[in-house]
């Protein structure tokens, strides 16, 4: 494989430290990239006592979702109103700027229903779009668009998490800008979910649904884990460029109840993933003497905790303790790229742009990246250290219909 073949600039979104700019009014998609969606990302919720085909159809282009006001909720133990909705999965988010796009249609007569939600706040949602009497409303508080019956309209909803701001566009025109309602994790939903004064039958139709992002990393995405009985400054430093992480073999674990070995690691947050192609990039340094330690992980395996770990033993970089990835990494800076193709269940490791490893993943429903030092079973030295700079997360995206 050529040294640069893993990287296609036009197809990737860089999650780098930067300030998010305001979405352009001319085209809400400007500056965003659509993520890869498959059938597995569209999770249907419908009344639990009927067949899904009695409330939902999809002909390959248009998704029709309908529900009746006297229907059961989507599961027996739920106390919520009737719904037939699609919950978008695989791209739950807690930071960055994310966008829902879809072309919707509401047949005349449908009223008292939510047709789109941004889920996730202290109670439930941070935004809902309702239909009342042919108009689209923000909850029951403010009209967003009048006369939406019996016509196709393009809906774009942008959520800037850091700014706690949501912006709604109809047919490319900004119609609403409101503050968010908090929450630690968010996702998109669309369909029909009964609200006040509903019609007996409620329906919405959708085509061209996609999720887009404009993402970046800030300090909140770097979650430090260190021995619980000492100050973090005794195991970690960051001068604005280089992150130094060290641990001792007789240190405590990172929480009092944990049975794991000592670590000083950074757990990347905000970009956990369960689909798509994701990449960790960072320039690392391991001082001589450090051995018996993991310096990077792709967390989330089926029967195991991780789907990939990179260990250091006697100056060499290993895949677990099974295979050498790179010789002689001590006392030099090296660029590490780890690509994870979830659908293909494949991980590829590059060191200084040269492919050094390609292995099969170990399953798992959700993944994230970690780096630092995490003591292993085999011959750890008393003091272990790694240093990192230029850490970022990348996502290889494809436009979807």
Whether residues 223 and 327 share a domain: the answer is yes
Residue 6 belongs to a domain: no
CATH number at residue 129: 2.60.120.200
The full 3-state SS of the chain, as one line of letters, equals: CCCCCCCCHHHEEEEECCCCCCCCCCCCCCCCEECCCCHHHEEEECCCCCCHHHCEEECCCCEEEEEECCCCCCCCCCCCCCEEEEEECCCCECCCEEEEEEEEEECCCCCCEEEEEEECCCCCEEEEEEEECCEEEECCCEEEECCCECCCEEEEEEEECCCCEEEEEECCEEEEEEECCCCCCEEEEEEEEECCCCCCEEEEEEEEEEEEEECECCHHHEEEECCCCCCHHHCEEECCCCEEEEEECCCCCCCCCCCCCCEEEEEECCCCECCCEEEEEEEEEECCCCCCEEEEEEECCCCCCEEEEEEEECCEEEECCCEEEECCCECCCEEEEEEEECCCCEEEEEECCEEEEEEECCCCCCEEEEEEEEECCCCCCCEEEEEEEEEEEEEECCCCC
Range of the domain at 102: 21-214
Per-residue pLDDT at 247: 98
Range in 24-38, 174-188, 291-305 with the lowest mean pLDDT: 24-38
Q: pLDDT band at residue 322, thresholds of 50, 70 and 90?
A: very high
158 domain-assigned? yes
**Which residue among 146, 180, 214 closes a domain?**
214
Q: Considering the domain boundaries, does residue 1 fall inside one?
A: no
Residue 401 lies inside a defined structural domain of this protein: no
Residue ending a domain, among 196, 214, 232, is 214
pLDDT, mean over the chain? 89
Instruction: Looking at the structure, tell me whether residues 227 and 174 fall in a common domain.
Output: no
Are 200 and 182 members of one domain? yes
Kindly state whether residues 155 and 236 are assigned to the same domain: no
Residue 11 has pLDDT above 90, yes or no: no
Same domain, 269 and 166: no
Q: What is the pLDDT of residue 174?
A: 95
| One domain for residues 286 and 345 | yes
Give residue-wise pLDDT tens across range 184-238: 889 999 999 999 999 999 999 999 999 998 867 888 889 999 999 999 999 999 9
233 and 153 part of one domain? no
Determine, yes or no, domain membership for 3: no
Give the count of domains, the chain: 2
203 in the same domain as 317: no
Of 187, 214, 241, the last residue of a domain is 214
Same domain, 158 and 289: no
342: in domain: yes
**Residues 346, 208 share a domain:** no
User: Could you tell me if residue 372 is inside a domain?
Assistant: yes
Confidence of residue 397 (pLDDT cuts 50, 70, 90): low
Same domain, 61 and 163: yes
Residue 2 lies in a domain: no
- 92 and 226 fall within a common domain: no
């Amino acid at each position: 494989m050529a040294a640069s073949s893993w990287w296609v600039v036009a197809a990737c979104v860089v999650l780098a430290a930067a300030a998010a700019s305001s979405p352009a009014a001319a085209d809400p998609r400007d500056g965003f990239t659509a993520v890869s969606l498959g059938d597995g990302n569209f999770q249907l919720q419908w009344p639990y006592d009927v067949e899904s085909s009695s409330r939902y159809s999809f002909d390959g282009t248009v998704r029709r979702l309908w529900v009746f006001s006297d229907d059961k909720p989507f599961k027996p133990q739920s106390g919520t109103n009737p719904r037939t909705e699609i919950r978008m999965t695989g791209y739950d988010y807690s930071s960055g700027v994310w966008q829902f796009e879809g072309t919707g249609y509401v047949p005349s007569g449908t009223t008292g229903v939510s047709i789109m939600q941004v889920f996730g706040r202290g109670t439930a949602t941070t935004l809902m779009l309702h239909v009342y009497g042919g108009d689209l409303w923000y909850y029951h508080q403010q009209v967003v668009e009048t006369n939406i019956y019996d016509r196709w309209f393009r809906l774009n909803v942008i959520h800037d998490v850091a700014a706690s701001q949501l912006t709604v566009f109809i047919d490319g025109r900004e119609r609403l800008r409101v503050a968010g309602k908090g929450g630690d994790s968010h996702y998109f939903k669309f369909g029909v979910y009964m609200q006040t004064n509903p019609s007996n039958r409620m329906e919405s139709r959708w085509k061209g649904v996609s999720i887009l992002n404009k993402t970046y990393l800030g300090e909140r995405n770097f979650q430090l884990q260190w021995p619980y009985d000492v100050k973090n400054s005794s195991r970690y430093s960051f001068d604005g460029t280089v992150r130094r992480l060290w641990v001792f073999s007789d240190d405590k674990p990172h929480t009092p109840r944990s049975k794991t070995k000592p670590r000083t690691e950074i757990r990347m947050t905000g970009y956990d993933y369960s689909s798509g192609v994701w990449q960790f990039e960072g320039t690392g340094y391991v001082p001589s003497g450090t051995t018996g330690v993991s310096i990077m992980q792709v967390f989330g395996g089926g029967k195991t905790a991780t789907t990939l770990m990179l260990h250091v033993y006697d100056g060499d970089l290993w895949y677990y303790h099974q295979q050498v990835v790179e010789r002689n990494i001590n006392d030099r800076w090296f660029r590490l790229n780890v690509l994870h193709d979830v659908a293909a269940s494949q991980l590829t490791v590059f060191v200084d742009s040269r492919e050094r490893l390609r292995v099969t993943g170990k399953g798992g429903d959700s993944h994230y990246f970690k780096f630092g030092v995490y003591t292993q079973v085999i011959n750890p030295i008393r003091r272990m250290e790694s240093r990192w700079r230029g850490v970022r997360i990348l996502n290889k995206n494809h436009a979807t219909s």
